[in-house]
Each structure stands twice: as C-alpha cells, then as structure tokens.
C-alpha cells in the first residue's frame, strides 16, 4: 500500500478574487498506512461546489482549509482497503475525499463516508441524487414551502442546484421563472426543462422582466446568487412571499461584504420571510428527498445535466468555471475510471 503515489492539490495561499491554479500547489506523497477506523478510498470523481471558495478563505459552517492542507472537496471513489467494519474493499462510496488520488477517511465520523446508492451512476449520486438534489428538494419544499399554483423564481437556474429547483417547482405544479446568464442557458430552461419563462440577467432589464413574467409577484424566490439579482427579486415579492437563501455566488469572490439589498424592507411590507439553510442539516432526512427524486428521474420528469472535466490536474480550473458561468449543469472532475 505504501508504494502507491498520491497526487494531490494543496492549498498554497488564500485566494484574491477568482480562484486560480496559483492558489494551489501540486504535490506527490506516499499513501500512509491505515489506522483502526480508517478507510482508504481511490478517488474516481470530484464534485465542484461554490462553497469551496469560502472553505479556501474563511471559517463558515466548516473550518477553513489550512495552508498546506489537501484542498477539501466532496467526491466519490472506491474503497481500496478498510479498517472500519462498515466498509469493505471494492465498495463505492462518497464523502470528503479532497483533491487527491487517494483519501484516508476516518469513517466513523457522522457523514464522513457514505455508500453510494446501489445502481446509481456516480455522476447522478454527486448531482441530482446527491447534495445538489437534496439542497434543491428541501430548500424549495421545506424552507420555501412552495405550493401548486404559486410563482417560483430561481436564480442560477441553469446551474446544478437551480435546474433541480426549477424542475421540482414544475413537478409540484408551480409557475417557474428562471434567471440565468446568456441566451443559450435561457433557451435550455424554457425548451428543455419546460420553465414558464427565463430571464437573461446579462442582457435584459431584470426588474422589468420580473414584472412582466411574474404579474402577481413572486411567492418563492430561491436565491443562489445574492447581490443585485436578490435585490431585484425582493422588489417583486408577493404578499407573504418567502425568500430561500441557498447561496450568494456573486459575492464569494469579494474581499469584504458588499452593500445590502435596497429592497430589503419589502420583506416587512409584504410580510415576507427570508430564510437561510445549510443542506447538512437535512442529512438525517435524505431518504425523504431521494425516493421521490429517483422516481422523477426514472420517469424522465427530472433532467440531470452534468459537465465533466477530465483529470485531477483540471481541478482548480474546473472550480473556477463555476464563477465564470462556464459550467453547463453539475460541475464534476473525473479523476479515474
């Protein structure tokens, strides 16, 4: 086992603005011997998540990655060796494997390592039926309390989480309007995913288009981006509208917090509710989301779009794609077949 070479990306410095390869250092190390309770995992596929930008800089719901540590990342892999009774060599698993070929995981910690659902492709397990899908499901249904006939607006709508929110909204019988960057993404939302309308925030007047597409106001605004888009959506809130604060990718590269939304007080006037959530709180209830979503996927009601970059070397560039809007669906990095 010690003969295995572990290729890794270590965090070299705190990033300024957009992440770049220079924020990381390529390293090759030996794979350590396993201690009791540990599992050795061969990384097969990495998930790229905007939250990794925060992990590189500041303490959030997890402590920041220390300089010189392997870059934290969720992903999937195959167990090579195990000193934990719940895992055996050959098994497919998912967890925080990091940007490296081999991860030694202390499998006893809650949520550290989970078996992949049987028969589910790795890309789906990391996307539609993984953290992405669970975030969308509970965010829209549990936090947003979306009901049939209501108007749901989702930002980052062509992205991994947003496209799941949009489709679940349609399945629930809501009117769904998506906000995304560029004509191609907007066309995908209306023609492929069947949304009622899509708004290109890069070329259209957002406030005007929200007024046109949501004549009765917004009942649920699912926010993935924050900033000016959140502000525009707050301005169109319906009476007792709910704002789901899932993320704020437009702000993650800023060194200091930007000014707050001007339309914030509309929450008061409209008796609205704005609520943040972290998907990790819902891990004990995963089956509640996965069972209906697996059914919708099988019935073709839910489309799962993945964007796969190939090679561990591509990990920093793949993460940057999220902030450049280059990813078309869930961004993954395939490390090994």
Torsion sign (Cα): 158, 321, 206, 143:
positive
* Cβ contact 118:94 at 8 Å: no
CB of 222 to ligand NAP, least distance (A): 9
Question: Residue 277 interacts with ligand NAP (CB under 6 A)?
Answer: yes
Size, binding site for ligand NAP by CB under 6 A: 31
Give the footprint of ligand NAP on residues 106-165 (CB under 6 A): 131-132, 135, 156, 158-162
Give the footprint of ligand NAP on residues 1-30 (CB under 6 A): none
CB of 180 to ligand NAP, least distance (A): 4
Determine the Cα–Cα distance for residues 228 and 107; give it in Å rounded to an integer: 42
Angle at 248 between CA 151 and CA 163, to 5 degrees: 50
Question: Residue 74 interacts with ligand NAP (CB under 6 A)?
Answer: no
Determine the Cα–Cα distance for residues 303 and 301; give it in Å rounded to an integer: 7
| 3-state SS, residue 73 | coil
| Part in contact with ligand NAP (CB under 6 A); list of ranges 49-57, 87-95, 232-240, 294-302 | 49-57
What is the 3-state composition of the chain as percent helix, strand, coil, each rounded to the nearest 5? Answer: 30, 25, 40
Other CB atoms within a 10 A radius of the CB of residue 239 amount to: 11
* Cβ contact 24:71 at 8 Å: yes
Q: 313 vs 328, which CB is nearer to ligand NAP?
A: 328
Q: Which letter, b or e, does each residue of 96-125 get, where b requires 16 or more Cβ atoms within 10 Å of its Cβ?
A: ebbbbbbbbbebeeeeebbebbeebebbbb
Give the footprint of ligand NAP on residues 250-269 (CB under 6 A): 250
CB of 298 to ligand NAP, least distance (A): 22
CB of 29 to ligand NAP, least distance (A): 29
Question: Residue 180 interacts with ligand NAP (CB under 6 A)?
Answer: yes
Give the footprint of ligand NAP on residues 315-334 (CB under 6 A): 322-323, 325, 327, 331
| Part in contact with ligand NAP (CB under 6 A); list of ranges 28-36, 210-218, 272-280, 297-305 | 272-280
**Residues that bind ligand NAP in the complex, under the rule CB under 6 A:** 49-51, 131-132, 135, 156, 158-162, 180-182, 185, 224-225, 246-250, 277-279, 322-323, 325, 327, 331
């Amino acid at each position: 086992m010690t003969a295995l070479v572990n290729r890794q990306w270590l965090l070299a410095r705190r990033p300024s603005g957009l992440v770049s390869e220079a924020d990381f250092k390529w390293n090759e190390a030996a794979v350590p011997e396993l201690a009791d309770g540990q599992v050795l995992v061969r990384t097969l596929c990495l998930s790229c998540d905007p939250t990794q930008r925060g992990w590189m800089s500041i303490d959030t719901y997890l402590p920041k990655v220390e300089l010189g540590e392997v870059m934290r990342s969720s992903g999937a892999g195959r167990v090579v060796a195990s000193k934990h009774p719940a895992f055996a060599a050959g098994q497919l698993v998912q967890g925080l494997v990091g940007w490296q070929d081999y991860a030694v995981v202390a499998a006893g910690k809650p949520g550290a390592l989970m078996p992949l659902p049987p028969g589910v492709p790795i890309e789906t397990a990391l996307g539609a039926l993984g953290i992405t899908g669970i975030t969308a499901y509970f965010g829209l249904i549990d936090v947003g309390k979306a009901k049939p006939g209501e108007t749901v607006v989702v930002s980052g709508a062509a992205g991994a989480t947003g496209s799941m929110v949009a489709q679940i909204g349609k399945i629930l019988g809501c009117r769904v309007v998506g906000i995304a960057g560029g004509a191609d993404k907007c066309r995908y939302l209306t023609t492929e995913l069947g949304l009622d309308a899509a708004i290109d925030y890069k070329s259209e007047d957002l406030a005007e288009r929200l007024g046109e597409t949501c004549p009765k106001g917004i009942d649920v605004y699912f926010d993935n981006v924050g900033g000016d888009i959140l502000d525009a959506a707050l301005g169109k809130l319906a009476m007792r509208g709910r704002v789901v604060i899932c993320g704020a990718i437009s702000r993650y590269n800023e060194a200091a917090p930007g000014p707050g939304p001007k339309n914030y007080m509309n929450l008061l006037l409209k008796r609205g509710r704005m609520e943040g959530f972290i998907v990790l709180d819902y891990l004990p209830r995963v089956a509640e989301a996965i069972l209906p979503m697996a059914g919708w996927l099988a019935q073709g009601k839910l489309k799962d779009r993945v964007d796969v970059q190939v090679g561990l070397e591509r990990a920093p560039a793949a993460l940057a794609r999220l902030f450049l809007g280059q990813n078309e669906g869930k961004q993954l990095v395939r490390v090994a077949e």
